[in-house]
Amino acid sequence: MIFKKIIQTDNSKTTILIRLAVGAVFLSEGIQKFLFPAIRGAGRFEKVGLPSPDFLGSFVGAFEIICGVLILIGLLTRLASIPVMIIMLVAFATTKAEVLSEQGFWELMHGSRTDWAMLLGSIFLLIKGGGSWSLDKKL
């Protein structure tokens, strides 16, 4: 019963557009945390003051890869959208507060446009599911 609710989705054929955007960005970002750890993974996490940056870089990168792939193929889409929403909220809180205080509202809005798009795309997928062209729908 719970599994059925997790994979439940509507018949929308256009949801794949949101899935492709969100999934591709998170898959790419996760891979980059391993390819370029000094600037995208542990090094970045250390720069913003997060604890255990080596662990967190790999942990977050792995979640981004796994959830990105799940979202791309539309498998467990609702479930996979939750960790990426958390990642976006933490990223926003740890990187954008300083921008707001030092450079102002408009620089914050400019610098966070991708963050907002990924967060809202993830919320959309949590609400709607994987759509018509997803493995969730096939199951």
Residue indicated by tokens 């557009």: 17
Q: Which domain holds residue 107?
A: 2-138
What is the per-residue DSSP string for 79-137?
Answer: HHHHHHHHHHHHHHHHHHHHHHHHH-HHHHHHHTHHHHHHHHHHHHHHHH-S-SSSHHH
Instruction: Look at the chain and report how many structural domains it folds into.
Output: 1
CA angle 47, 66, 131 (to 5 degrees): 120
Per residue of the chain (139 residues), give pLDDT as tens. 788 888 999 899 999 999 999 999 999 999 999 999 999 999 999 999 999 999 999 999 999 999 999 999 999 999 999 999 999 999 999 988 889 999 999 999 999 999 999 999 999 999 999 999 999 999 8
